[in-house]
Amino acid sequence: MSLRDKISSELKTAMKARDSERLATLRLVNAAIKDREIAARGDQGVSELTDADLTAVLTRMVKQRRDSARAYEEAARLDLAEKETAEIAVIESFLPRQLSDDEVTAAIEKAVAQTGASSVRDIGKVMAALKADYAGQMDFGKAGGLVKQKLT
């Protein structure tokens, strides 16, 4: 079952269960996917997004909500922060499992060995290998810092 089918199925289930919070989040996800499809259709002539494209959309949505939740917490708007956190949980249920810190370290070591990286100039090669193998499974911002530490 493709990611798009899974999201549509969950949307129907939420409608039947009258789960308004989950339903609202899934509708936001569908809207973001449709926006991305329209942009891709105009730019590249692509008619349908791949699961990798959908994962990128969902990852971006999670990042946006984390930033919003942090801003709401700083502004003492805990009700809105909780809403954002609930949306994160729904969206993350469609993303691949996140790697633990130990697994990230092992993946970085594997990528460094595969690419033959030996200096800081090779960070781009290592990051490209990580993104190809572990898309949606790790925070590449943190991974970049770990790769830099490994190569210095």
The Cα 107–Cα 120 span in angstroms is 17
Q: Say if residue 67 is exposed, middle or buried (CB neighbours under 10 Å; 0-12, 13-18, 19+).
A: exposed
Phi, psi of 121 (to 5 degrees): -65, -15
Across 121-129, average pLDDT = 88
Residues of CATH 1.10.10 domain(s) within the chain? 101-151
Residue 46 banded pLDDT, cuts 50, 70, 90:
low
Q: Give me the CATH topology for the region 3-92.
A: Hypothetical Protein Yqey; Chain: A; domain1 (1.10.1510)
Token duo for residue 108 = 């970085």
The Cα 113–Cα 107 span in angstroms is 10
The Cα 59–Cα 96 span in angstroms is 10
CATH number given to 101-151: 1.10.10
Residue 59 banded pLDDT, cuts 50, 70, 90:
confident
Residues of CATH 1.10.1510.10 domain(s) within the chain? 3-92
Cα separations (Å) of 143 from 5, 36, 135? Answer: 31, 26, 12
